[in-house]
Structure 1
């Protein structure tokens, strides 16, 4: 059975094999667990809660107070990826143009091209500074939608608030989708910009600092009219009762996220020092991962680390990041194992020359 041509041309997002029992530094999840209150809440779920569709209104009220918006400005999704899909399905027609940096989060291009959109990439330069001027110039050609990831992934680059405001003001008829999945690690969110920019949608995720990736919960913030449009394509109960209970509990412990971010920053600094001491070039980022330049053999290093049950991700499929490994900031003992294994591989490689 033939799929739509736009779908036939796509390549599915690679999931990979089993990761059970391995050191997982490849997908930028949190290795620091979740708020203890979340586990308590999940243990007390009743058969009635699990057996019936979830109630969203109490959580939306609590989220509105937490984030400083109204309930009408929030939409729950099955993870931030589902939010991206919903935006593409709602606001872009076949042949219309989407502008995005290159590289950026690959799911954006995947869903846009799946809708038949014409994706135009604005490339990063060698220094990987956010290409604000080039993006602004492209926006002046009246695309339908612009995707901004702040901080960006996989580069870890950060567009400033001032530059973002400049982009938003170029043409208020252009919808800007701002993915803030990693915002906890850069120190701020741009939710306050919603009040003055009705052409802005902001996506959040509970998968990173909150440590709830397995429950799949995302948020879309925007003007009530935009949110109402998105409701037409988001399944009516896309966030599960389990995810709703977890979010309630998590929001009651904001200090947990602060603690995780502090630990990640400390361990990231320690990792950078140790890798630099090995003679490696390490790119710090405004996220919970670093980019490590291991040279032309990054895919081979990834495979050799995987053979030692240490999972990282080669960036060789991005020309600007060829030779780099992306390494999430795990727990101290996980990073110790990674550094020891990498040191051994580098020494073995040097001895073999």
Structure 2
């Protein structure tokens, strides 16, 4: 007999394949991370803090929400920092839903949405993305009913990279005013697509973002939520006072003070590497989903061979099947040099 809830015992844990991921031995193109180290400014800020003799004190957040609000074009009271965007997703779902409520999570998608929903024992409705039509806006609207408490919109989606039109997000928010709309903008720096400016007009909007992707700080777990002030206050009632560690704060402040290292990296990925990769895929007639982010979900005729050849060349990518069971590979794009190295190996697979 277990002391825990029966539905939690029956769940499976989300276990991403982290074993053996060593950036000194492999080119990591499997987790949509930044493929270059962070700037020296961030490294120096972390080292200086560690040497300052303050590790024995609890975190003190100061004006970090004001800094983020300035960066986002939001108000200070519309921002809450989190332990990665995963915590933001979890808090929003917990705050919005009771056991038995319905949530709409279009798929395929980032597994954490479903994981958090299953922990709360929610009923999950999963309209399907398609390569041809993208986000299933009409299916989402048709699925809304009196039991719907939350709708997840990943913009862009993972693993497909599909961007959701702004007008569709706001149309859904207007159609379900008593329902939480969770918009995951964790790849915002790549797309610049946001509904942050609509928070005052649509108080049911909640946005999650992260410093794990373009900012290159997934190891220290720093994210934030944007929403109406009353929503942020409610979420703060759940989040612990020390959930975000001080090293994350130090790194985030340093990153925000010198954003050029991120902007330059994003420009190379999106303006150079991605077009090179797309042109190669088009040339060899390899099917892939249109993507607004730093990754492509492709479906070659020989995915296992490609995966194994890349592994042998010390390049890691992520196997991802579509909803019909077709085997695909999600490949992160890095610098031009890294992309050319990737293509050289892929050429051998053909």
**TM-score class, shorter:** over 0.9
Where 1:144 maps in the other structure, the secondary structure is: strand
Matched, 1:257 2:240: no
Q: Which residue of 2 aligns with 1:268?
A: 274
Q: Which residue of 2 aligns with 1:18?
A: 20
**8 Å CA contact 1:99, 1:145 repeated in 2:** yes
1:219-261, CA deviations, whole angstroms, 9 ceiling, x for partnerless residues? Answer: 0111122112212222221111111011111111233332121
Where 2:249 maps in the other structure, the secondary structure is: helix
With normalisation by structure 2, the TM-score equals 0.92
RMSD of aligned residue pairs (Cα, Å): 1.9
With normalisation by structure 1, the TM-score equals 0.91
Where 1:336 maps in the other structure, the secondary structure is: helix
Tell me, in whole angstroms, the C-alpha distance in 2 between the residues paired with 1:323 and 1:305: 16
Tell me, in whole angstroms, the C-alpha distance in 2 between the residues paired with 1:320 and 1:190: 32
Change (3 A) 1:276 1:332: same
Tell me, in whole angstroms, the C-alpha distance in 1 between the residues paired with 2:111 and 2:246: 29
Q: Which residue of 2 aligns with 1:32?
A: 36
Counterparts of 1:66-77 in structure 2, within 5 Å, are: 66-77=71-82
Where 1:257 maps in the other structure, the secondary structure is: helix
Query: CA shift at 1:128, angstroms?
Result: 4.7
Counterparts of 1:169-248 in structure 2, within 5 Å, are: 169-248=174-253
Where 1:285 maps in the other structure, the secondary structure is: coil
Q: How many residues end up aligned between the 2 structures?
A: 344
| Unaligned stretches of 5+ residues in structure 2 | none
Matched, 1:285 2:291: yes
Change (3 A) 1:299 1:139: farther
Tell me, in whole angstroms, the C-alpha distance in 2 between the residues paired with 1:308 and 1:6: 42
Tell me, in whole angstroms, the C-alpha distance in 1 between the residues paired with 2:342 and 2:142: 42
Tell me, in whole angstroms, the C-alpha distance in 2 between the residues paired with 1:14 and 1:138: 30
1:272-309, CA deviations, whole angstroms, 9 ceiling, x for partnerless residues? Answer: 222333342333300110122212x4245324422332
Tell me, in whole angstroms, the C-alpha distance in 2 between the residues paired with 1:123 and 1:172: 23
Change (3 A) 1:29 1:126: closer
1:146-175, CA deviations, whole angstroms, 9 ceiling, x for partnerless residues? Answer: 111101111111111111111110121111
Change (3 A) 1:230 1:51: same
